[in-house]
Structure 1
Amino acid sequence: MKFLRTTVLLLKKSLRKNKWKEADVQPHTEKVKKCHTPFEKKCGPGHRGKEICKTIYENVCETKYEKYDLDEDKPVCKVIEEERCKTKDVELLHIPHHPGDRPYAKKEVCEKWPVKKCDIEKVHSKKIHPKTDCKKVPRKVCHPTDCEMVPGKEICYEDEVTKLQAVPHEECDLEPHKDCKTESTLKNCIKVPKEICVDTKKNPRHIVKPIIKNWCYDPNELKKFD
């Protein structure tokens, strides 16, 4: 059987998935530790000084608790039993022997020992890391001249702060798609009947047929040859 190689155009329809990322702004509340160190008046006896005013700078700190993901190695251990074997010499007392020449045989003795084996696995966990930022905040204070402003005891308190956070999410849709490509294929060759006409000679034979020829000449021209 013969085959003919030909090229055909194939059209394939499919659905293509398009993906993109968007972010939604959502409010969230987080706890913040706020601390500041106020200044206190330290005065001498009498308090008769003149009142003066000046600007001081208080130390104000804010501690945020940031969460982050961490992949860390964690050992996973288990106790299994391992068989340990060793070869011992066993005296063969039942075999006759000469004095000072005792027969021995080799014997394998095995014992099971507990063994602790550990594998390292990746564990996904969430960690909280405190991050503290401090700044100097100006403050105007007034006090007598015989008093001085000294840093007092640090004051701390917990506060809740509402912030906006961009939360990413993935969107997708299906889009129709046409894909055209050429592909080589083999087709079976078939025999098609076809009529062909040719001239042939049927019963050939010789025929004597006279031929008459016309000669044209000038009689005067012939006289030249006489």
Structure 2
Amino acid sequence: MIKFGLLLFVATVVSGDIIRPSFSSNSQSSFNQGFNSQPSRQGRQGNSLVSGAVDFSGCQNDPETGLCCVEKQETIQSIQKDPILECTHKNVEKCHYTYVTQFTPSQEEVCEENFEKICQVTFKQQATDETIKKCYRPLEKVCNGQGPEECRTVYESSCTTKYIEKQPGKFVGDTKCEKLPIEICGAGCVTEEGPEECHDKTITSLVDVPEELVPKLKPEHECTTFPQEVCNLKFSQPQKVDKPLRTKWCLDPTPAAPGETYDENNALGAPLG
């Protein structure tokens, strides 16, 4: 009996269960069988926290929800891309015609007489057609159907070329490019640049043309050079950065509803230790 009581005390300390032995002739053998089957359940019945579990021992009452909550500060990895504004400066020459009055001076004997010229130039708007060349590289979507359904924004290059006559019979192309955003959705999709497509486009612009006045006006060609800025917004290569994440965990004391409990006796396999 002393040996049996000592074994009972050791089994109670190890497993954490309450054991009620029967004092029959085979009580010691049945106890040994129960003791040998207990180590497989020590992982779930101990008081230590499972790795990754939330410790609610220091929780505080949340006035918003009325539950006992704890807050955790964690660090997660996120993808970061820095915006880069790339600008190109160049000098552009614009020319126009100015009008100089042509007149014949006359002189009389009476030198006390003076002549004063007062002129005013009136302009009117006139529509002119201009042909430009528009090219772009379309982005083609290629999907393999693997992965989650997601949407992202890509940028498609579009360029326009306008030909300016610098000298009679000599034209110079002025090209400007821009990035057009396109949203692509699908599972496991990537984008590939297709072949370049170009076509001519005719645009109509308004220019100021002076009305014919008297006396006669003679046109003179004048050119002005001014700086032009072309900017393009792009992003740096994506990189992984650590960002803080604040989470709140709350304990709901509501008892389990009927049908939500689980009895180990109904398990198909042995408990995992």
Report the TM-score when normalising by structure 2: 0.34
Q: Whose strand proportion is higher, 1 or 2? A: 1
Bigger relative contact order, structure 1 or 2, given CA contacts below 8 A and separation 6+?
1
Structure with higher Rg: it is 1
Report the TM-score when normalising by structure 1: 0.41
Q: Whose helix proportion is higher, 1 or 2? A: 2
